[in-house]
Amino acid sequence: MNVIVILGPTCSGKTELSIEIASKIKSEIVSADSRQIYKYLDIGTAKPNFEQRAKVKHYFIDILSPDENYNAHLYSKQANATISNIIKNNNVPIVVGGSTLYLKALIDGINVPVDTNQKLRNDLMEKRNLYGDEFLFEQLKKADPVSAEKLNPKDYKRIIRALEVFYLTNKQIWKFQSETNVSPFNFVLYGIYRQRNILYQRINQRVDKMIADGLIEETNKILSSGFEENLNSLNTVGYREIIDFIKGRISLENAIYLIKRNTRRFAKRQITWFKEDKRIKWFNADEFSTSQIADKILEDFYERKNSNSIRTGILG
């Protein structure tokens, strides 16, 4: 079964486009956003509003508390099950999002069900700085001799990743890498893009609107509810800078400047990822309206529906 995927950089218009498509074919949306999955993080993640979610059913939005752990492996497993259920109801699932790791896990499979743990990585880096690469390599030889045999003792980044996986799962990384996790569905990838200056202008406008809509108050409420500022969910552009403002570490003016700058940088990284995937068919959102792009995507999708060559290559 074929599945529509709508992707693109932040602020390109994915939400509006996906809702337009879902409305036209009376279907449902599977979110691939690693932050919209958390409750209470509404304004800073630009979630679809209640009216949009009432119009079209969305999955993987507001399902976790900010202090719950989650990763791309779990997302892939659960999203595949959700897609299967949508198909059983004779609908075409629509996956939409810009979280490249979630998309990669869903579309191409992921073997290691562990996201990076920044605290653990920092601890390992501190040990490297104190004792050198050889110390880390010796630790890996004890924990995972198979992986150690394959690695250069100076390749500290891969050594740290192998140690990280072992410490978090008590399982060697090579065992995960030997397992397969491939989706049974054909994903048809569509991307929307804008001229860089227009995209950056939209980002700046969105940030201003987030502040006006109450991003500071929302962040304050999250912190006052007892959630720690160092949670992975809050290590997100928008919340991270506003927390620094709330804690008195930077001015509001600087916080807003940093949110805009960091969001632009994030969009640039997304664009770099997506450019590598030759499966994506792109549409210019500056040239066509949302409704026009939706019609073009649906026309292309149904023309290609019986093709066996859709699902090739690697995302990112």
Q: How much is the average pLDDT of 220-237?
A: 95
Inside any domain, residue 65 = yes
Q: Looking at beta carbons, which pairs linking 218-226 to residues 24 or more positions away fall under 8 Å?
A: 218/40, 218/41, 218/42, 218/43, 218/44, 219/44, 219/243, 219/246, 220/246, 221/40, 222/40, 222/41, 222/66, 225/40
Rounded to whole angstroms, the Cα distance separating 259 from 238 reads 5
By CB atoms closer than 10 A (0-12, 13-18, 19+), residue 62 is: middle
pLDDT tens digit sequence for 265-312: 999 999 999 999 999 999 999 999 999 999 999 999 999 876 654 443
Q: Judge if 145 and 173 occupy the same domain.
A: yes
Q: Judge if 86 and 195 occupy the same domain.
A: yes
Q: Judge if 89 and 149 occupy the same domain.
A: no
Q: Judge if 153 and 92 occupy the same domain.
A: no
Q: How much is the average pLDDT of 126-151?
A: 93
**Which residues lie closer than 8 Å to 266 by C-beta, 6 or more apart?**
9, 10, 237
pLDDT tens digit sequence for 48-95: 999 999 999 999 999 999 999 888 888 999 999 999 999 999 999 999
Query: To the nearest whole number, what is the mean pLDDT of the chain?
Result: 91
Residue 158's domain is classified under what CATH number? 1.10.20.140
What does pTM read for this prediction?
Answer: 0.80
Q: Judge if 138 and 106 occupy the same domain.
A: no
Rounded to whole angstroms, the Cα distance separating 316 from 191 reads 14
pLDDT tens digit sequence for 154-179: 888 889 989 998 998 888 888 776 66
Domain hosting 28: range is 2-110+182-202+266-303
Q: How much is the average pLDDT of 137-166?
A: 91
Q: Judge if 73 and 169 occupy the same domain.
A: no
Inside any domain, residue 36 = yes
Residue at token pair 């959102």:
285
**Which residues lie closer than 8 Å to 110 by C-beta, 6 or more apart?**
72, 73, 76, 101, 104, 181
Q: Judge if 24 and 74 occupy the same domain.
A: yes
Inside any domain, residue 293 = yes
Q: Judge if 162 and 97 occupy the same domain.
A: no
Residue 299's domain is classified under what CATH number? 3.40.50.300
Q: Judge if 25 and 12 occupy the same domain.
A: yes
Q: How remote is the C-alpha of 98 from its chain's centroid?
A: 5
Integer Rg of the chain from CA: 21
Tally the domains of the chain.
Answer: 2
Inside any domain, residue 76 = yes
Q: Judge if 52 and 192 occupy the same domain.
A: yes
Q: Judge if 30 and 133 occupy the same domain.
A: no
Rounded to whole angstroms, the Cα distance separating 97 from 9 reads 9
Going by pLDDT thresholds of 50, 70 and 90, the confidence category of residue 112 is low
Q: Tell me 234's DSSP state.
A: G
